[in-house]
Every structure is written in C-alpha cells, then in structure tokens.
Structure 1
Amino acid sequence: MTYIYLMNNVKPMNKELIKSHVEHLKELKNQGKLVFCGPFTDYPGGMVIFLAEDMEEAMKIAKSDPFIASGCKSFEIRTIEPANDQNNYLLEE
C-alpha cells in the first residue's frame, strides 16, 4: 500500500538532525519503499510518500524519521490510492 506522512514544523532543526533525516530517506530508497519526498514551498513542513505492508509498518516508518522522533516535526499519516494510466485514474466503467 502507498502511504504519505505530512509533517509540520514544531521546533528548529540543526544540521545533524537534517543529515539523520536524509539517511532515513536513503534507507527507505534502498529498501524500495520511498516513492517521493520533499519540503513544501508554500507551507512550513514537508511530506514523504512511501510503500508499507500495512498501517502498523507505516506508523513505524514515520515515527522512525529523525524529524518526528526528535519532536521537531509533528505528522499526520494517510493511505493513498494511486490514480494513473494503468488503472484509468480510478474511473470505473
């Protein structure tokens, strides 16, 4: 399943924390779980779209992000169903 965690800034971050967050993202990529990530340009925070077996694993992944584990960012997690050419953008006929 595809999940997204949306992060909101709570406390300032330092360079070491940012490096740890990047390592977390690289590990997700190495595991084939990272789909897309990045900061918002019009809102304080960012998001990570990733693959997980279920909500339990998704929560574990989100909570292990150093930004979240440190308390510097709060988060919300959502399940997302990709709409694309392969599934006719979820249009049922």
Structure 2
Amino acid sequence: MYVYLMNNIKPLNEELIKSHVEHLKKLKSQGKLVLCGPFTDYPGGMVVFLAEDLAEAMNIAKADPFIASGCKSFEIRTLESANDENNYLL
C-alpha cells in the first residue's frame, strides 16, 4: 500500500479538479483506491492506494492531474497496514 501526500503550489481550476476526480474514479474502478481527501488543517491532501511496487506507485501519482499540471508537489510513502489480522504489527 502506498500514500502520496500533496502540497499546494498553484491554484486549481474547475477543469483540473474534474480531471483529478476522474483519476480517482479510475483508481477506484481498478480496485486500487483505498482512501483520499484534502487535509482540513494543512494546504494539501493525500491518496492512499494499492500498487504492485514503487515504480507503479510513482506512475500512479505522476498521472494525477494535480501533480502532472504542476499545481501540487508530492511525496510518496509505503504504508504497512496495522490491523486485527496482523495483531497491529506486534
């Protein structure tokens, strides 16, 4: 599982927002989207998603219209899920 954290650089327009939503819908239809949304206390947002490896994860992040347009910068992180099944990684 991967996360890309986005920071605002340039203002967004309606067309770009619609393209970003289509990107998220595509990830959802592929069974890759886990969670996404803007931060309420920080200028940016995040997308949590599934990918085979870091290379695929980078391609997914770079394909996001927010990032591809240069309106947002990003950092990518690998996330290991802690849950009942793995005893919260104990």
**TM-score under structure 2 length normalisation:** 1.00
Partner of 1:50: 49
Counterparts of 1:75-90 in structure 2, within 5 Å, are 75-90=74-89
Partner of 1:32: 31
Q: Which runs of 5+ in 2 are unaligned?
A: none
Q: Which runs of 5+ in 1 are unaligned?
A: none
Q: How large is the Cα RMSD of the aligned pairs?
A: 0.2
Shift of 1:45: 0.2
Measure, in 1, the Cα distance between the counterparts of 2:85 and 2:66: 34
Partner of 1:3: 2
Measure, in 1, the Cα distance between the counterparts of 2:84 and 2:14: 40
1:10-63 per-position Cα deviation (integer Å, ceiling 9, x unaligned):
000000000000000000000000000000000000000000000000000000
Measure, in 1, the Cα distance between the counterparts of 2:49 and 2:88: 19
Partner of 2:40: 41
Q: Which runs of 4+ in 1 moved over 2 A?
A: none
Measure, in 1, the Cα distance between the counterparts of 2:50 and 2:17: 22
Measure, in 2, the Cα distance between the counterparts of 1:9 and 1:18: 13
